């Protein structure tokens, strides 16, 4: 699966005015959390309801001990005090359609025993489910002894496995019913949506700055940050024409990293990465400059895996002109896209 987040960056080169605007755009993950509480106190998603019924003579020392199960769609009053309530994930639900996993199979809609979702007993025809409204979220249900290590949370426990079991709170029995929701996470921020060189001359190189005045010394023009948990990482691409005034243009350096000579018509950029697993793509990673994204998108940065750590890319841009170039404002719009590979 791929997620695309797009940013537009407008460059005002020559005498253009720069305006500083921050455009955050994100898709952020969360962690599933579940507990047994009352129906009245659960303002989130109910996955299962329990009766807390006990065999004659036993003490009710643990909530939800030796309980019968009921689907969350039911409203039997005696099940109101022990519901499995889950939260922490945007779009969480208990639907058994769309993107969902079966938590347990029930022998009825209420007053039911349960069995694992891997069983196929003909008497267990009702499903209790956990779902997400995001199709890309990965929902996992597991059954483990003693604990739910490797999962986000413990939903409830079973008195016996694999079938014909009463249920209890997570601490009641050693047979744990576990759940995890892997939510895709992608954040992409650009610090400035416009930058400028100030006055370009043929006597030297000019470097763009965020305040639009530019300078004769190389500095950061803007930066962008990327963070994802995508297993296969991400690619940041850019595309746009070189600097133009009508049909007159300042030549893009091209796909070879180089330092332009003063008095030539050249525009290019390079980037430096800090933090995380992200790296700058060739030809933008060396000490010189390049620009080869006029007609199609060109990769400027990438990561082979998503480590959940933010990488900051500091972008520096350069321009120079010859003595014959028509005066005026030379402008371009560049589009940056990050593609996360889940």
Residues 71-109 pLDDT 10s: 999 999 999 999 999 999 989 999 999 999 999 999 999
pLDDT at 54: 47
Mean pLDDT, the chain, whole residue set = 88
Confidence of residue 275 (pLDDT cuts 50, 70, 90): very high
- Asked if the model's pLDDT at residue 15 lies above 90, the reply is no
Dist CA 195 CA 328 (whole Å): 16
Confidence of residue 185 (pLDDT cuts 50, 70, 90): confident
Q: Which of 122-131, 215-224, 242-251, 327-336 has the lowest mean pLDDT?
A: 327-336
Confidence of residue 342 (pLDDT cuts 50, 70, 90): confident
Report cis status (omega within 30 of 0) of the bond before 162: yes
In angstroms, the Cα distances linking 136 to 1, 8, 99, 130 are 7, 26, 8, 14
CB environment 127-165: b (16+ within 10 A), e (fewer)? ebbbbbebeebebebebeeeebeebbbbbbbbbebebbb
Q: Which helix (H) or strand (E) holds 300?
A: strand 298-303
pLDDT at 5: 54
Q: For the chain, what percent of residues have pLDDT higher than 90?
A: 74
Phi, psi of 287 (to 5 degrees): -80, -15
- SS3 of 79, please? helix
Q: 171 CB contacts (<8 Å, ≥6 apart)?
A: 62, 157
pLDDT at 239: 93
Q: Could you tell me the residue ranges of all domains in the chain?
A: 2-28+185-341, 33-182
Asked if residue 9 lies in contact with residue 194, where contact means CB atoms within 8 angstroms, the answer is yes
Dist CA 164 CA 171 (whole Å): 19
Asked if residue 214 lies in contact with residue 207, where contact means CB atoms within 8 angstroms, the answer is yes
pLDDT at 135: 82
- Asked if the model's pLDDT at residue 155 lies above 50, the reply is yes
């Amino acid at each position: 699966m791929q997620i695309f987040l797009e940013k537009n960056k407008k460059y005002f080169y020559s005498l253009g005015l720069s305006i500083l605007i921050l455009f955050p755009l994100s898709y952020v993950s969360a962690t599933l959390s579940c507990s047994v509480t009352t129906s009245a106190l659960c303002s989130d998603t109910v996955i299962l309801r329990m009766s807390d019924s006990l065999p004659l003579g036993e003490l009710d020392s643990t909530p939800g001990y030796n309980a019968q199960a009921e689907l969350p769609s039911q409203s039997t009053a005696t099940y109101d005090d022990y519901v499995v309530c889950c939260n922490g994930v945007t779009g969480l639900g208990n639907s058994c359609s769309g993107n969902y996993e079966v938590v347990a199979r029930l022998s009825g809609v209420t007053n039911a025993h349960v069995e694992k979702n891997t069983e196929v007993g003909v008497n267990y025809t009702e499903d209790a489910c956990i779902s997400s409204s995001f199709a890309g979220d990965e929902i996992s249900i597991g059954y483990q002894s003693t604990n739910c290590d490797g999962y986000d949370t413990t939903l409830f426990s079973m008195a016996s496995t694999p079938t014909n079991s009463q249920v209890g709170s997570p601490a009641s029995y050693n047979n744990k019913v576990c759940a995890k929701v892997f939510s895709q996470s992608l954040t992409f921020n650009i610090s400035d949506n416009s930058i400028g060189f100030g006055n370009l001359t043929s006597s030297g190189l000019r470097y763009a700055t965020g305040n639009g005045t530019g300078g004769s010394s190389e500095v950061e023009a803007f930066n962008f940050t990327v963070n994802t948990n995508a297993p296969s990482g991400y690619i940041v691409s850019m595309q746009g024409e070189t600097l133009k005034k009508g049909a007159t243009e300042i030549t893009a350096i091209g796909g070879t990293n180089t330092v332009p000579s003063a008095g030539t018509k050249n525009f290019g950029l390079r980037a430096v990465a800090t933090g995380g697993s992200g790296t700058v793509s060739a030809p933008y990673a060396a000490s010189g400059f390049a620009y080869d994204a006029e007609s199609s998108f060109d990769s400027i940065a990438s990561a082979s895996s998503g480590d959940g750590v933010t990488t900051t890319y500091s972008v520096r841009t350069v321009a120079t002109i010859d003595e014959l170039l028509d005066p005026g404002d030379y402008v371009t719009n560049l589009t940056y896209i990050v593609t996360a590979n889940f």
